[in-house]
Amino acid sequence: MVSALVGSGYYYVSQVNVFNALKPDLERWTDELVEPQIARLTEIADLNTAARDAYLSALVQHDGRIENSVFDRAFPLFGDGTRRSAPDLFDGMTTPEGEQVYGIGAFVGDADAMTEDQRLWFWLGYETIRRLGPERVDPEASLYYFTADRRAVLFGPHRTDRLEFYRINAPADFNMRGDEDHILFGEEANPARELQCTKISRYISDDAGERSSMACRIPIWQGDVLLGALGSSFDATALLDVAANASLEGGTVWLLDRDQTVITRHASQGHQMHGHSMGDMLARVDADTQSGAFRIDNSLISFRRIPHANWVLITCVQIDGFLAPLQLRAWLLSFLVFALLSLAAALKSGLLPRLLPSKAALHSKPAE
């Protein structure tokens, strides 16, 4: 019993020491993996926040009137009850004030039903993206203003589709409300009126194969009045490739979205989960903690949350190779303790002297 306790104690303490030794390295490696994702999403969040602040600032300074001729020139009637952006807004033009405008596409549903306030809100959205877009939007992203009632204006000069769907091809009854709009606009789902990011969308590109994109949007409120939202869509392929192509010897990397659905997974050859599942790991990931590390069976697991998108990156490595020598040492230690205790017991009971040959026997001469 004592020998077993000694061996078990040694093995337990040794496992803890191995965990404590490996934990910092795995956490550091996990942090390095998420750095590009955090940096990119923070950049997108800063862009959207800057756009919202610029919009609200312009709203305060505006006199509240938009001349019909000005609005009609930028967004003429399309003949089907909608307004679309003038072709020159995408191709490039110079305003009467001498400002360059390009890369703009717009769809205005139910144009005849627009109130003066709605015209103003839409115009300010257009002004915001056309001024901020050239300064802050990179070639793989776009910036847009949209409302919950089928109206949108976008800045995307580098898009291969030239925004023609919105400018030309969208049907008059096109419903712009997405499946995730309730998460952005709903008071219950987004009471703090914060930036929200959509799920990943995957598509096939003629020149680049399978690609992934997503969008982040921030609502615009004036008191209790919802004026619309500003958002940016961008190529997320590189963000996913960081996790998908991660090289972790003897381990696995997962990237999960806000619904704990696996977006990407990369496992080294031969790595298998030993007796536990994704559910076991997620049960240990504290929703109130940004990062951490823990052990399940013979796996060491580290996680790091990615803000704005509400993703979580999980890394898992097997520590069997470290534990096998410890098990052998624990067994040898148990055997040694057992042997020593047995020897001590034999000495104490006097059994050992009786088992050994006597001095007389050692010095007696063999019979001739």
pLDDT digits (tens, 9 = 90+) for 309-363: 989 999 887 765 454 454 545 445 455 555 555 555 555 665 555 555 555 554 5
3-state SS class at 145: strand
Domains of the chain are: 13-38+240-321 (3.40.1840.10), 44-236 (no CATH)
Quick one: pLDDT at residue 170?
A: 95
Least confident of 29-43, 128-142, 345-359: 345-359
CA distances, 264 to each of 49, 85, 128, 195, 249 (Å): 28, 38, 35, 23, 17
> Whose CA is closest to 64, among 143, 146, 119, 4?
119
- Please determine, for residue 99, whether its predicted confidence score (pLDDT) is greater than 70: yes
Tell me the pLDDT of the chain averaged across its residues. 81
Quick one: pLDDT at residue 15?
A: 59
- Please determine, for residue 303, whether its predicted confidence score (pLDDT) is greater than 60: yes
pLDDT tens, position by position, 7-32: 455 445 555 566 666 778 788 888 88
CB 154 within 8 A of CB 144: yes
Q: pLDDT grade, residue 241 (50/70/90)?
A: confident
Quick one: pLDDT at residue 276?
A: 54
> Whose CA is closest to 262, among 247, 291, 240, 242?
240
State what percent of residues in the chain have pLDDT above 70: 73
Quick one: pLDDT at residue 184?
A: 81
First to last CA, the chain: 51
Quick one: pLDDT at residue 75?
A: 97
pLDDT tens, position by position, 76-88: 999 999 999 999 9
CA distances, 342 to each of 138, 335, 339, 350 (Å): 77, 10, 5, 12
Those residues with Cβ within 8 angstroms of residue 167's Cβ, 6 or more apart along the chain or in another chain:
84, 85, 87, 90, 105, 106, 107
Q: What is the b/e burial string over 38-53, where b = at least 16 CB atoms within 10 angstroms of the residue's CB?
A: bebbebbbebbeebbe
DSSP class of residue 284 equals H
pLDDT tens, position by position, 167-215: 999 999 998 776 678 778 877 888 999 999 998 888 765 555 678 899 9
- CA 190 from centre of chain: 19
- pTM of the predicted model, to two decimals? 0.78
Supply 96's token pair: 């009467």
CB 316 within 8 A of CB 281: yes
